[in-house]
Amino acid sequence: MSNSSTSDLLKPFKLKTKQQELLISILCLVYILAFITRLFSVLRYESMIHEFDPYFNYRTTLYLTQHGFYDFWNWFDYESWYPLGRIVGGTLYPGLMVTAALIYRLLHFLRFAVHIREVCVLTAPFFASNTTLVAYFFGKEIWDSGAGLVAAILIAVCPGYISRSVAGSYDNEGVAIFALLFTFYLFVKAVNKGSLAWGLASAFGYFYMVSAWGGYIFIINLIPLYVLVLLITGRYSMRLYVAYNCMYILGMLLAMQIRFVGFQHVQSGEHMAAMGVFFLMQVFYFLDWVKHMLSDTKLFQEFLSITVTCAVAAGGIALGVGVASGYISPWTGRFYSLLDPTYAKDHIPIIASVSEHQPTAWSSFMFDFHILLFLFPAGLYFCFKRLSDATIFIVMYGLTSMYFAGVMVRLILVATPAVCLISAIAVSATVKNLTVLLRSKNKVAQIGSTKGTSSAKASSKASLDQSQPFQKNGAMALLFGAFYLLSRYATHCTWVTSEAYSSPSIVLAARGAHGNRVIFDDYREAYFWLRQNTPPDAKVMSWWDYGYQITAMGNRTVIVDNNTWNNTHIATVGRAMSSYEDEAYEIIRSLDVDYVLVVFGGVTGYSSDDINKFLWMVRIGGGVFPVIKEPDYLVNGEYRVDKGAAPKMLNCLMYKLSYYRFGEMMTEYGKPPGYDRARGVEIGNKDIKLEHLEEAFTTSNWIVRIYKVKPPNNRW
């Protein structure tokens, strides 16, 4: 080998590596950016678990690391849903906990002595970083590597995703969005390649998604829909057949290993679409084969009509029989509420009572997507311009998820990756077109100046350019405009992350009179008091929002928690809270409750307290026990707590527990005692006497109040 030949060999390699180096370094930076932009809450507050559900996840992860997988899988939790208990292993998606426990084990194996809490806190940012990589590869698959890079950058800071993946937000979604996008990517890759290996990989991706989040339903309905669309538009191919069959069959079998999902893939209405499409695929394949065998087209047409009719009829009959016999369960309320946004309000108040299940306001779209909202249609335009199997997929993903995002606030999360990818296509395609325009003109000018002779095409283009003298400037301006918009996007995202999405909601922070930071740590004060100073077997009754936190931080048994699997039980608590004290006392005794916990914001002006949630308790309680009627608590349809409030309102247990001895309290200068700062009124009942309960603990800012249930009086 001579020197020159090696250098010839190296030349393209070098160019390639330079590009690769740039690419890899950009990806590394995006990876790091995605991680650190989610650390605001750790820097502002501390490394802690946020919100409500993450506390359950944290508690189960702790259990998993302490007791091992089998104990975790067979765990019967006595501390929640007293006296029913909860079969934890069979009623959760274990993906998140197992992931965190594995990371924890790995780090300990590598001799990094970290606490499991740190692992849990940083799991979501870590997976967000991984999502950026997946977004890059996905973008590369559907468009080109430029679009992939832009997609990675957009998704790294997109507020819609950050809202669920800041450090400490240790929730299923943090891992699930990664799994969702990864599954989609693998499936699209499988469709493009027609390879069994990618199909297998997507089946495993699907399995991970099933193990992590209930949102897998979206995958198992979107993919069949996509396949159906391809079939209808005549894009059926062997690649599709291989990819879908492999993914569906293996994914289904794997998903059955998750106890919470079980046989739902063959038994529940939500999963039937996938099965129907699966059979349709077989019919298509069969028809293809028959077409191949039969040369006579007329005969085939007849055969086709007969087979399709038969197949559809058979499928319909099977479905009908399945539903009628109860083998196939009908759609659940949650599924209905997705298709019909008003359904939950009328039928399932417990779903409607959660703020993140409300229909999305326009402002929150703007807040979470910013310029992506405008880039999204542009991206759709580019996708339609260059239709392929992959772009059809992303278009369908984008459109369906946007619909769901409109139905429920929290499903903006599912739409985010699609919006980012489609917007990335718009950005990448636009910028590429503009730069090509700028560069080609230079090139032409160069060629013209150096060689003098140019091809007819080039000269015609040059003349075209000359005919449009403003084109270059226009392109420059557009390019700058794009960069300006993108930089605005980056600033907006950072601002939103730091201001809106990085508060743990356990610790409340406010600005004091002198501009100093005041911290209200009342929740933990109360939970820690429960943990230390009540009997270990004490039962605590509170509204279900605080159930997970009480069991995780207070380590005490609760009556209801955020799992909300038993509506009657929650309604019983709602009924107790909205009854008079002596009626409530009987319910409390029957539930064997020792302590009652209420959250009260009247002193601090904290507005998401139990009095403001109280109407939902009435509604949910009244949904099961018709004794509780919502109008009893309202005056002319108005909800109030001052002197003009309804008499039942002024004497119900929740009112009494919230405002007990509040009438003596001066909250604000210049206002009468008993002035409720959260609602801005003087309370209506200042002389509250408690007969069966006694104040056991009130936190320093009165946010959490705990009452002890007295034993029944002696009868003689």
Where on the chain is the footprint of other proteins (CB under 8 A)? 17, 45-46, 48, 111-113, 506-507, 519, 521, 524-525, 527-529, 531-533, 553, 661-662, 664-665, 694-700, 702
Amino acid letter, 542: S
Q: Give Dmax over CA atoms of the chain in angstroms.
A: 118
Q: Which of 114/299 has CB closer to other proteins?
A: 114
Nearer to other proteins, 226 or 702 (CB): 702
How far apart are CB 666 and other proteins at their closest, in Å?
9
Q: Residue 691: which of 539, 594, 597, 582 has the closest Cα?
A: 582
Nearer to other proteins, 371 or 665 (CB): 665
Contacts of 541 (CB under 8 A, 6+ apart): 558, 559, 560, 573, 576, 588, 591, 593, 595, 596, 597
Least gap, CB of 528 to other proteins (angstroms) = 5
Q: How many residues does the chain have?
A: 716
Q: How far is the CB of 662 from other proteins (least distance, A)?
A: 8
What is the smallest separation between the CB atom of 157 and other proteins, expressed in angstroms?
Answer: 27
What minimum distance in Å lies between the beta carbon of 636 and other proteins? Answer: 33
Closer of 198 and 404 to other proteins (Cβ):
198
Nearer to other proteins, 116 or 408 (CB): 116
Kindly tell me which of 492 and 708 has the beta carbon lying closer to other proteins.
Answer: 708
What are the CA-CA distances from residue 603 to residues 40, 644, 702, 705 (Å)? 28, 21, 6, 12
Least distance between other proteins and beta carbon 595 (Å):
12
- Cβ proximity to other proteins: between 58 and 143 the closer is 58
For the bound state, the minimum distance from the C-beta of residue 136 to other proteins, rounded and expressed in Å, comes to 18
The nearer residue to other proteins, 5 or 532, going by C-beta atoms, is: 532
Choice between 51 and 368, CB closer to other proteins: 51
Give the N- to C-terminal CA distance of the chain in Å, as an integer. Answer: 111
Nearest alpha-carbon partner for 633 in 621, 620, 650, 609: 650
Its sign, for the CA torsion 153, 380, 192, 252, is: positive
Burial class (CB in 10 A: 0-12, 13-18, 19+), 217: buried
Minimum separation from the CB atom of position 205 to other proteins (A): 23
For the CB of residue 301, give the shortest distance to other proteins in the complex, in Å: 44
The CA-based dihedral angle spanning residues 531, 536, 542, 548, taken in that order and rounded to the nearest 10 degrees:
70
Q: Closer to other proteins at the Cβ: 260 or 697?
A: 697
Rounded distance between C-alpha atoms, residue 534 and residue 109, angstroms: 38
Asked if 267 and 219 count as a contact pair (C-beta separation under 8 A), the reply is no
Query: What residue has token string 């700028």?
Result: 438
From the CB of residue 11, how many other CB atoms can be counted at a distance below 10 Å? 10
Least separation in angstroms between CB 110 and other proteins: 8
Q: Between 21 and 346, name the residue whose CB sits nearer to other proteins.
A: 21
For residue 602, give the 3-state DSSP assignment.
Answer: coil
> What is d(CA 630, CA 619) in angstroms, rounded to the nearest whole number?
6
Nearer to other proteins, 110 or 324 (CB): 110
Q: d(Cα 506, Cα 658) in Å, to the nearest integer?
A: 19
Alpha-helix runs per DSSP H in 452-564: 456-467, 470-499, 522-533, 547-549
**Nearer residue to other proteins within complex by CB, 401 or 698:** 698
Cis preceding linkage at 83, omega within 30: yes
Strand partners, 268: 329
Closest by Cα among 633, 559, 567 to 344: 567
Of 554 and 574, the one with the shorter C-beta distance to other proteins is 554
The least CB distance from residue 693 to other proteins, in Å, is 10
**Shortest approach of other proteins to residue 533 CB, angstroms?**
5
Shortest Å distance, C-beta 181 to other proteins: 25
CA distance 240 to 195: 10
CA distance 692 to 586: 10
Would you say 289 and 236 are in contact if contact means Cβ atoms under 8 Å apart? no
Which token pair is 225?
Answer: 């829909």
Least Cβ distance, residue 696 to other proteins (angstroms): 6
| Cα–Cα distance for residue pair 302/94, rounded to 1 Å | 51
Query: Which tokens hold the place of 500?
Result: 């809106």
Q: Which is nearer to other proteins, 284 or 529 (CB)?
A: 529
Percent of the chain as helix, strand, coil, to the nearest 5: 65, 5, 25
Q: What is the DSSP annotation of 121-164?
A: HHHHHHHHHHHHHHHHHHHHHHS-HHHHHHHHHHHHH-HHHHTT
CB of 52 to other proteins, least distance (A): 15
